[in-house]
Structure 1
Amino acid sequence: MSPDRSQTVYAASAADLALRALDALRGVEGTALLAEHVERADDPKAALAAIRVVGADAFAPYLLAEAVFHPDDAAAVSQSFAVFPPAVSTPDPPPSGPAEPWIVAWRDWATAALLARLTGTQGDGTLAPRPEGAPTDHTDWQRWSVRMSQLSPLALPALDGPVHAAARAAPLALARGATRAVLRRDFPTATRIVRWLALLHAEGVRLPLDPVPLVEHLRLHGGGPRLALDAAIARRLLGLEAP
């Protein structure tokens, strides 16, 4: 398979898993959605890669709705880490190191931490240790809010850490970043930032804008299963959909 073909297959599998998670969040999908995604795939390796790409957001139905976490799902997540292992050591945060590996490490940690929580195991560093650092220079709110959007899979209940503390410390920067992204018609980035605003709202943090009209506006703009999943998670956090 050519590299371009491989990337296309992997992207399609990730989109399919995001759609499955969205259906489960809405109460449509059955049990063991992650395991079934792998079992029914024409390319199981691509399906395992999709679990790593969608990451912690695949757990949204179990955290925000009434979906029951299945042991087969835990096995599928563990297998995805075995086939696509994270870095042995956590990368340095930017600017000491490049941003992309550090962002991936945070997203891996979120997946591992939620797996540990849902399976009742001790600790969250078995599959992926927690990186150091967080986006802190929110005075440069344009760059900072984009970086926070890249970390949006951490914007889920049951997770906490320095990235969440950074979000709580700068709701105005998040609001500015979301508004700018909407005006630029960058709806995926806007929706990912709004997830942080929705999480802060759920925690009782006072916000400089009402996130409800914003997320309702964003969910009307399409953008595929990934944007739809981000918007649905935000709506759940805002209490706009019953669990």
Structure 2
Amino acid sequence: MAEQTQGAVPLSAVIADAAQGVALALRGEGDPYALSRVLRQGDALALAAIRVLGADALAPYALDHRAVHGGEDDTTVVREALAAYPPGTDASEVSVWSYRGLIEASHAFLPSGADHWPQAPHAGAAWVANDPWPKLSHRVSQLAALALPGLAPTLAESLAARSDDLARGFVRAVRRRDWLQAAGLGRWLARLPEAPPSLGLDAGLVFIRQMSGGDARVTLHVAAARRFYGRGG
């Protein structure tokens, strides 16, 4: 999304730092969270990182967004990210859903009027019913930020019908040591009402976090599953 210059901080590092800040806030650790302190206005990498994290950039505000927030500074930086990286006409379903999720989270968690935000694009969901389970698992793991409480309710309802397939994807990802995909699927399974009891989701999430080598986005997903849904130890 953003060009890199030699010697500059890579986008992956900015994303990791932001994800770690979100995870700390979800665990109740560190300084009070404000997105605009973690990712600065006018910074191209910061805007790209917000677009990558999607709704997770605002996840700590789902706990009690009136207690800590950056006010208009948060609104400004999110609006800049949405303006800088809208999904194009040929964008993937994942990109459109992620963009839509960030708009939904902005409406839900930021203290600002609707005029600040672009209209949420239509996001198709036929793939939820039609995708074979490996492809479905890949897409759903990329949309783990939408597993925040209250976001994307129609998507969550559709995914509930495929809990068994997502559980298969979770097991496969663990066996393949794809910790990020496993964590994203585990987070969705924590939200859905009928995750198979035989899956061992709680122990699995603990294992994933331990084996991921401190991957910040894995840590974020596991922290969210625990804080919002009580799963993962």
Question: Larger relative CO (CA 8 A, sep 6+): 1 or 2?
Answer: 2
Structure 2 residue corresponding to 1:132, chosen from 94, 106, 124: 124
Does the C-alpha gap of structure 1 residues 188 and 241 become closer, same or farther in structure 2, counting only changes over 3 Å?
closer
Q: Which amino acid is the alignment partner of residue 207 of structure 1?
A: P
Per-residue CA distance 1:88-135 (angstroms, 9 max, x = gap): 65x5xxxxxxxx632111101101111011236449972542322243
Structure 2 residue runs without a partner (length 5+) = none
Please say if 1:172 is aligned against 2:164. yes
For the 8 Å contact 1:112–1:128, the answer to whether it is kept is yes
For the 8 Å contact 1:113–1:123, the answer to whether it is kept is no
Measure, in 2, the Cα distance between the counterparts of 1:211 and 1:147.
19
Measure, in 2, the Cα distance between the counterparts of 1:180 and 1:241.
18
Measure, in 2, the Cα distance between the counterparts of 1:188 and 1:158.
23
Does the C-alpha gap of structure 1 residues 65 and 162 become closer, same or farther in structure 2, counting only changes over 3 Å?
same
Q: CA deviation at 1:145?
A: 1.2
* Number of the residue aligned with 1:95: none
Please say if 1:27 is aligned against 2:17. no
Measure, in 2, the Cα distance between the counterparts of 1:45 and 1:238.
34
Larger deviation, residues 229-238 vs 107-116: 229-238
SS at 1:28 equivalent: coil
Q: Which amino acid is the alignment partner of residue 49 of structure 1?
A: A
Q: Provide the aligned length of Structure 1 versus Structure 2.
A: 227
SS at 1:136 equivalent: helix
Please say if 1:212 is aligned against 2:202. yes
Measure, in 2, the Cα distance between the counterparts of 1:219 and 1:104.
26
Measure, in 2, the Cα distance between the counterparts of 1:68 and 1:80.
21
Measure, in 1, the Cα distance between the counterparts of 2:87 and 2:7.
22
* Number of the residue aligned with 2:99: 108
Larger deviation, residues 102-111 vs 157-166: 157-166
* Number of the residue aligned with 2:56: 57
For the 8 Å contact 2:55–2:98, the answer to whether it is kept is yes
For the 8 Å contact 1:19–1:229, the answer to whether it is kept is yes
Measure, in 1, the Cα distance between the counterparts of 2:158 and 2:8.
33
TM-score (norm 1): 0.80
Please say if 1:69 is aligned against 2:61. no
CA RMSD of aligned residues (A): 3.1
* Number of the residue aligned with 1:152: 144
SS at 1:172 equivalent: helix
Identity level (%)? 33
Does the C-alpha gap of structure 1 residues 3 and 35 become closer, same or farther in structure 2, counting only changes over 3 Å?
closer
Measure, in 1, the Cα distance between the counterparts of 2:196 and 2:117.
33
* Number of the residue aligned with 1:80: 81
Please say if 1:182 is aligned against 2:174. yes
Q: CA deviation at 1:69?
A: 3.0
Q: Which amino acid is the alignment partner of residue 198 of structure 1?
A: A
For the 8 Å contact 2:189–2:195, the answer to whether it is kept is no
Q: CA deviation at 1:171?
A: 0.7
Structure 1 residue runs without a partner (length 5+) = 92-99
For the 8 Å contact 2:94–2:142, the answer to whether it is kept is yes
For the 8 Å contact 1:138–1:170, the answer to whether it is kept is no
TM-score (norm 2): 0.83
* Number of the residue aligned with 2:17: 16
SS at 2:48 equivalent: helix
Does the C-alpha gap of structure 1 residues 227 and 6 become closer, same or farther in structure 2, counting only changes over 3 Å?
farther
* Number of the residue aligned with 2:155: 163
